[in-house]
Structure 1
């Protein structure tokens, strides 16, 4: 069988894929080959260039393409349901989620809410560069103001698109570091609505190119934040994962509603070592039943506890051994 070559368009890339065995007989095999060649993990759909209409159409069969044909890769966005509780107000308490198999605990995540009160003993001063407070995703995304050059020149220079994506990434990060496909779509649609001149003429929806660009921009933006030591994205770096989980995009800890994976900075002047000593003192105070001191230490060690639970994902038994006060009625009651 003669070999074949395809011109493949994906995002802003144009690649040549050589098929030593020729065009695959099944569409599934072609999908697998393209995903492997371009290192794509998402579900995809393929489109081929139709010579009659000089446009792209959905590829239904591999018989529609031949040697030196041009195909376009389109990522298929997963269906995501975002559930909002009727009330976002929470009191002191824990949300415990246990991931179980038939024999042992495999993963445990405890969301420990610790809020300050009017008592000075329960007030903890966080560092000025504390993690930004997350706002709920808006019903309609507000496009930020771009630089004067961008507003005046549109897309006439290469730097303009970079400025647009940078501003969008900064705005998205005020809501979430890990936007879903539907959230990215809403941003792209809001951008085109605010600036019709930016419409993607090469796609039916007019926003596909922006969707893809925003998706990869957020990935690069998170990489930059990891370099700055932002805990929310640091916990997903490969070197911070367990040896068995060191695989890209595996067990990514994304904050959800109620910040189940919230990772704050350590308080001013504190680090893992000093807060570990506070934890040991907390265990001793628990034996004395000094509720005020216990409450103060629990608030002070909040960041240390969050980092341990999110990054190490310990079992309930381990958490109970290291943080027995977390299971006291004063800490778990709603």
Structure 2
């Protein structure tokens, strides 16, 4: 219930972190408004869940579903949703990153279910990080690197140390890709001898060709081991999982495409297909009843693995998929699903690439004459006069759309609106791909036309 006078609440943010929240206009009628106020007041970016202290039950805390339960001088507890990340598929422990919450346009996105062991949170790194090996292996490598630096003497490895190195490196590779390509193995082998020069191979044209080949074989063996243990991402390609007509090792292999990081994740720990289907039905009810956004967000994150396995295994039509997962076609969930699947912030990456290539795009567009130049004249004037980054981005995108021969009025209703979310859907993804591949002008146009 909203109050016309000022209200004050005791807010418990942590074990040793308690604040006072003053609400000049009283307690908001909407729970989302209250959560938004708490976020802005205390600088929180994670997904929040609130609990209130109920005096009727001995001051125990209960989940807050309506602000009608609150009153002046009441106490609420803030529970911040955290993202848990798996170190490797062979490890049963899951580490928590409570302070590393992912924010995109002030909205929180959970990469996957908190208890899923198969979520990847990063794309393949530019410089592959060589992991730390066992203690005795590290001792020999330190000694070998010192001797190599002094007298160019290479280290002679025992089979046990060589096996330890390969095992640790392959586990690190799997953190990023289950099916790395030849170029990835080259990158890893080069990073290995760069960090440990004593591991260079005499007679090799680049000093690491043998390491690349060993890593390839070791990666294949590692996948086989994980497949036997029931890793969903790999067992989907086993002969048992294929139909009789497709029961061949090289036929219809399901693996990530392009930059997909979480192609076929496993169900969260303790969940089954039946429990996931029940969660999906509850999610449909939440969408129809327009329940709180954080409830829908949590359930969408929890059912990510179930949704991905449905896409890969059944390949449903878009209409059927939309009927089963209507929440996925909302703007916030599109961004969240892109992050869960690709481990990339769609909007952040798009606008970052747009800022990098804006000057080159503007030069190409200014060189265009005729009716296109006349249509862009007013927008270019606004672009030249403003320093607001959001307005400049909007101007660049609008003139680019006109340059490509599209009707910008159908996509942008008002150029003065400073809303970054005007450009979404396929246009955002297509333009992001153009900018990522450094395409401009005619090349960019031909890419979007296809």
TM bin (shorter chain): 0.5 to 0.7
Q: Distance in 2 between matches of 1:290 and 1:142?
A: 43
Say if 1:146 and 1:302 are closer, same or farther in 2 by CA, change over 3 A. closer
* Pairing partner for 1:134 from 121, 131, 139: 121
Q: Distance in 2 between matches of 1:137 and 1:202?
A: 30
Report what 1:42 is aligned to.
none
Say if 1:327 and 1:142 are closer, same or farther in 2 by CA, change over 3 A. closer
Report what 1:229 is aligned to.
230
Say if 1:161 and 1:294 are closer, same or farther in 2 by CA, change over 3 A. closer
Check whether the contact 1:253–1:261 (CA below 8 A) recurs between aligned residues.
Answer: yes
Q: With the length of structure 2 as denominator, give the TM-score of the two structures.
A: 0.41
**Residue 48 of structure 2: SS of its match in structure 1?**
coil
Say if 1:246 and 1:326 are closer, same or farther in 2 by CA, change over 3 A. farther
Q: Structure 1 residue 156: deviation in Å?
A: 4.0
Q: Structure 1 residue 214: deviation in Å?
A: 0.5
Report what 2:140 is aligned to.
152
Equivalent residues in 2 for 1:111-260, closer than 5 Å: 117-119=47-49, 126=113, 128=115, 130-150=117-137, 151-152=139-140, 154-249=155-250, 250-254=252-256, 256-257=258-259, 259=261
Q: Structure 1 residue 273: deviation in Å?
A: 0.6
Q: Distance in 2 between matches of 1:179 and 1:248?
A: 18
Check whether the contact 1:231–1:263 (CA below 8 A) recurs between aligned residues.
Answer: yes
Equivalent residues in 2 for 1:76-91, closer than 5 Å: none
Q: Structure 1 residue 226: deviation in Å?
A: 2.4
Report what 1:38 is aligned to.
none
Larger RCO (alpha carbons 8 Å, 6+ apart):
1
Check whether the contact 1:235–1:253 (CA below 8 A) recurs between aligned residues.
Answer: no
Say if 1:195 and 1:307 are closer, same or farther in 2 by CA, change over 3 A. same
Check whether the contact 2:233–2:265 (CA below 8 A) recurs between aligned residues.
Answer: yes
The answer to which structure has the higher helix fraction is: 2
* Pairing partner for 2:312 from 310, 326, 334: 310
The answer to which structure has the higher strand fraction is: 1
Q: Distance in 2 between matches of 1:247 and 1:223?
A: 16
**Residue 143 of structure 1: SS of its match in structure 2?**
coil
Q: Structure 1 residue 213: deviation in Å?
A: 0.8
Unaligned ranges ≥5, structure 1: 1-114
Q: Distance in 2 between matches of 1:252 and 1:155?
A: 40
What is the CA RMSD across the aligned residues, in angstroms?
3.5
Unaligned ranges ≥5, structure 2: 1-44, 51-64, 66-79, 84-112, 142-154, 336-423, 425-450
Which structure has the larger Rg over C-alpha atoms?
Answer: 2
Q: With the length of structure 1 as denominator, give the TM-score of the two structures.
A: 0.54
**Residue 165 of structure 1: SS of its match in structure 2?**
helix
Say if 1:194 and 1:270 are closer, same or farther in 2 by CA, change over 3 A. closer
Check whether the contact 2:193–2:208 (CA below 8 A) recurs between aligned residues.
Answer: yes
CA offset digits 1:198-236 (Å, max 9, x no partner): 333343223222111101111111222223333333333
**Bigger Cα displacement from structure 2, 155-164 vs 250-259:** 250-259
Check whether the contact 2:280–2:303 (CA below 8 A) recurs between aligned residues.
Answer: yes
Q: Distance in 1 between matches of 2:118 and 2:320?
A: 27
